[in-house]
Structure 1
Amino acid sequence: MGRRAIVIVLDSVGIGALPDAREYGDEGSDTLGNIARVQEGLTLPNLEKLGLGNIKPLQGVKPALEPAGNYGKMAEASAGKDTTTGHWEMAGVILKQAFPTFPQGFPAEFISEFEQKIGRRVIGNEVASGTEIIQRLGPEHMKTGKPIVYTSADSVFQIAAHEHVIPLPELMRICTIAREMLAGELKVGRVIARPFVGEPGNFTRTANRHDFAVSPPHPTLLDYVQRKGLAVQAVGKIRDIFNGQGVTEHKPSKSNAEGVDKTLEFMMEHQDGLIMTNLVDFDMLYGHRNNAEGYAEALKEFDRRLPEILHNLEDDDLLIITADHGCDPTTSSTDHSREYVPLLVYGKKLRRGVDLGIRNTFSDVGATVAEYLETEAFPWGKSFFRSISR
């Protein structure tokens, strides 16, 4: 039997502001800590056993006297605080310059050229919450057929359209054009299709979202694993984040629950290599909507599913649970927050209770997986594999 690493990214589950959070307007952000505080405690017994409460004090989550896993937290070395940056850094890409953001909307010249190329006028072109802007501009969109363009504090160009007004294939064509045009100084991390349905006053976004990312600037962990002839199995939006680079198999998911289901399906295939999963509900449904109660329930639901993942681990498997940034639902902001991310590491044959400390970069995840899977030398990050090996 060979080796397999399973990396599960709890999208936006940060664990306290980074020292430079003030530069991003995120001073005081603490996704896990503040949710636990406002909810008067979290009940996460399985994550607690692995050592979540040993990383830092969390109301309701006790430090384990004998953690079943190894624990620590990681700082982001890259500039920025978005999904693409966080995932890329785990895989060995450290960005010195953050992807561009557009707090005043996109340049008028760009919008004009974009309208000409797609054959439609657009509305919006502002920083907005996705759920709010479709309620506000959805009626006009339905009357005129004009897609809704908006962005956020993150590096995104989002296009919302009612599925009965602009069918999905047409929306994807429009997004493809945007992705091709957004280059150079306008090279955002992601173009996102945001389809919705419903009637004025009751619009809801559908699960047919699709992200159009840019390709990593150099080979990543996924490429290194693939080059060794091993499987790289992606769950959720992982394939989109890496623009397919290095991915050998992909299972889409429309919720955290389905993401866990798809991860278990890959685990039961018993292929050597890497399984990488993104669980997006924390961020998409609760963090960006400042819904601390919903966020807490999503954490509890993942905690309830965790025993299934642990039960299906093979003897030589390496499990890493972490996050890509924060999105504190208790602050006035609805955007991502510049935070440390938790690091929980478990394997049946690994040591237990090792304090992995504060890692200087998310790339330590990639370095560890690369060493564990014995790929070619991985030049980014510092592996902690020897610290947890028996």
Structure 2
Amino acid sequence: MKRVFILLLDSLGIGSSEDSDQFGDKGSDTLGNIAKFCFFKRKILNKKKIIKIPNLLKLGLSCASKFSTGKFPLGCDIKFNDVISSYAYASSISTSKDTLTGHWEIVGLPILFKWDYFKKKKNSIPKFILDEINSKFSFNGWLGNCRSSGTFILNEFGNEHIFTKKPIIYTSSDSVVQIACDEKSFGLRKLYNLGKITRLILDRNKYKISRVIIRPFIKDNLGNFLRTSNRFDFCIPPYGKTVLEKLIDEKNGKVIAIGKVSDIFSNVGITETIKISGLSNLLDVTIDSIKNNFLKNVIIFTNFVDFDSLWGHRRDVVGYANGLEYFDKRIPEILNVMRKDDLLIITSDHGCDPTWKGTDHTRENIPILLYKKNIKSIFLGHRKTFSDIGQTIASYFSLSNMLYGKNMLLI
């Protein structure tokens, strides 16, 4: 029985891609700019050294970054002979830079069509769509209906929502509709039903909106609005077979989705879902799953969303750096429970440079770090699509070939 562990550090880009100018992101570099910030602010941050991620460096992260950008991230130099994994950097061939797109391309389904977007800053979502949704619930109106960040819109409409019970609806630069409600006064069940109905109405009206994101929040005793861990994404189902589905169909395998992974794939190609949030909790559950699942061919797929949602979008450079350092400290726990034939893949889905303008994702290359006991440490080159990951997994499990991507390793 073989096992693959995909640890996806959501938004950890390693330098702007060749087509980044088409997205307004030329010069973005999530890892590099975080390292640069820490280097020049280390006295203020009360650190003798810059960002400390020695285990990620040994797995080839900074080497992949050097080949992507032409230089090591500041303070992250390492001798190539000290790297213990094979590594590469990859560019996306998909038309967008959002979470769903990145994940789908990784498992063999690049997005080569155009998502639909609600681009207006005000009155983003057409009135007839809102009217149709409202007819199912009789909310007596909405709040927002604009393009905004989650933090801004809760501060603007949170109190009014709690008083009126009108849902807060908004969009972003991604192909999404987001709905935020107080989970105590509005109710989670009602909120999830609202998301489900919204997804159905968008689909019926032939809108290719990738995700309807439910954003529950609460108001604390200090009057702050805080998102809870009960987020749910209603996504369009994959348009073809992913490597996840192939493992189940062709090898009677098992796919364990941890965090928000099952939402991203609409639970297609998933045999077990573990909904958990928080970086430490996600790591705990991932390590436990590795320890306890060895009777079948298995993929354990974890999305570490905090790097994106808490630190990338909120432009929290220090939080992002601290999160990377914490993740790095726990890598030995993962390596220690791996068996001889296990394959560990550490990667990302896009960038979200916390030093960049605005609050959106950034079009960047991603790292691919491949670790297996006794693996030969080599640079695997510039991969032209994220789907090389899916093709490598298919080869590893002796599955039928994916339509996109090339195998990176002879294993």
Whether these two folds match at TM > 0.5 is: yes
Within 5 Å, which residues of 2 pair with 1:161-176?
A: 161-176=181-196
Identity of aligned residues (%): 42
What residue in structure 2 maps to residue 255 of structure 1?
Answer: 278
Answer yes or no: is the 8 Å Cα contact 1:291–1:329 preserved in 2: yes
Note the C-alpha offset of 1:191. Answer: 0.7
- 1:125 lines up with 2:138 in the alignment: no
SS in 2 for 1:356: strand
* Residues 231-253 of structure 1: per-residue CA shift (max 9 Å, x gap): 11111111110111111111112
Of 162, 178, 203 in structure 2, the residue corresponding to residue 142 of structure 1 is 162
Of 209, 224, 241 in structure 2, the residue corresponding to residue 219 of structure 1 is 241
Note the C-alpha offset of 1:340. Answer: 0.3
SS in 2 for 1:186: coil
RMSD value, Cα = 1.3
Whole-Å Cα distance in 1 between the matches of residues 257 and 225 of structure 2?
Answer: 31
* Residues 189-211 of structure 1: per-residue CA shift (max 9 Å, x gap): 11111011115841111111111
Within 5 Å, which residues of 2 pair with 1:74-153?
A: 74-104=90-120, 105-120=124-139, 121-153=141-173
What residue in structure 2 maps to residue 35 of structure 1?
Answer: 34
Bigger mean CA offset, 117-126 vs 297-306 = 117-126
* Residues 1-60 of structure 1: per-residue CA shift (max 9 Å, x gap): x21111111000001111111111212111111111111142110011111121211112
Whole-Å Cα distance in 2 between the matches of residues 300 and 64 of structure 1?
Answer: 20
Amino acid at match of 1:222: L
Whole-Å Cα distance in 2 between the matches of residues 116 and 65 of structure 1?
Answer: 62
- 1:6 lines up with 2:30 in the alignment: no
Note the C-alpha offset of 1:117. Answer: 2.2
Answer yes or no: is the 8 Å Cα contact 1:81–1:337 preserved in 2: yes
SS in 2 for 1:167: helix
What residue in structure 2 maps to residue 210 of structure 1?
Answer: 232
Note the C-alpha offset of 1:164. Answer: 2.2
SS in 2 for 1:166: helix
Of 262, 276, 281 in structure 2, the residue corresponding to residue 239 of structure 1 is 262
SS in 2 for 1:349: coil
Amino acid at match of 2:24: G
Bigger mean CA offset, 191-200 vs 220-229 = 191-200
Whole-Å Cα distance in 2 between the matches of residues 379 and 97 of structure 1?
Answer: 16
Answer yes or no: is the 8 Å Cα contact 2:345–2:369 preserved in 1: yes
Of 213, 219, 225 in structure 2, the residue corresponding to residue 192 of structure 1 is 213
Of 80, 83, 107 in structure 2, the residue corresponding to residue 65 of structure 1 is 80
* Residues 318-342 of structure 1: per-residue CA shift (max 9 Å, x gap): 1110000000110121011111001
Amino acid at match of 2:219: G
Note the C-alpha offset of 1:185. Answer: 4.8
Bigger mean CA offset, 181-190 vs 304-313 = 181-190
Provide runs of 4+ in structure 1 moved above 4 Å. Answer: none
Count of aligned pairs: 385
Whole-Å Cα distance in 1 between the matches of residues 374 and 341 of structure 2?
Answer: 7
Amino acid at match of 1:60: G
* Residues 285-324 of structure 1: per-residue CA shift (max 9 Å, x gap): 0001010110110111110111111111111001110000
Note the C-alpha offset of 1:118. Answer: 2.5
Amino acid at match of 1:46: N
Answer yes or no: is the 8 Å Cα contact 1:193–1:211 preserved in 2: yes
Amino acid at match of 2:17: L
SS in 2 for 1:275: strand
SS in 2 for 1:164: helix
Note the C-alpha offset of 1:165. Answer: 2.1
What residue in structure 1 maps to residue 253 of structure 2?
Answer: 230
CA separation of 1:98 and 1:34: change in aligned 2, threshold 3 A = farther
SS in 2 for 1:141: helix
Of 174, 177, 181 in structure 2, the residue corresponding to residue 157 of structure 1 is 177
Answer yes or no: is the 8 Å Cα contact 2:211–2:234 preserved in 1: yes
SS in 2 for 1:106: coil
Note the C-alpha offset of 1:356. Answer: 0.9
Answer yes or no: is the 8 Å Cα contact 2:132–2:201 preserved in 1: no
TM-score, reference length from structure 2: 0.91
Whole-Å Cα distance in 1 between the matches of residues 137 and 361 of structure 2?
Answer: 30
Answer yes or no: is the 8 Å Cα contact 1:18–1:75 preserved in 2: yes
What residue in structure 1 maps to residue 43 of structure 2?
Answer: none
Answer yes or no: is the 8 Å Cα contact 1:325–1:337 preserved in 2: yes
Task: Give the unaligned 5+ runs of structure 2.
Answer: 40-49, 67-71
Answer yes or no: is the 8 Å Cα contact 2:84–2:375 preserved in 1: no
What residue in structure 1 maps to residue 25 of structure 2?
Answer: 26
Whole-Å Cα distance in 2 between the matches of residues 339 and 112 of structure 1?
Answer: 38
- 1:294 lines up with 2:319 in the alignment: yes
SS in 1 for 2:104: helix
Task: Give the unaligned 5+ runs of structure 1.
Answer: none
- 1:275 lines up with 2:284 in the alignment: no
Answer yes or no: is the 8 Å Cα contact 1:15–1:340 preserved in 2: yes
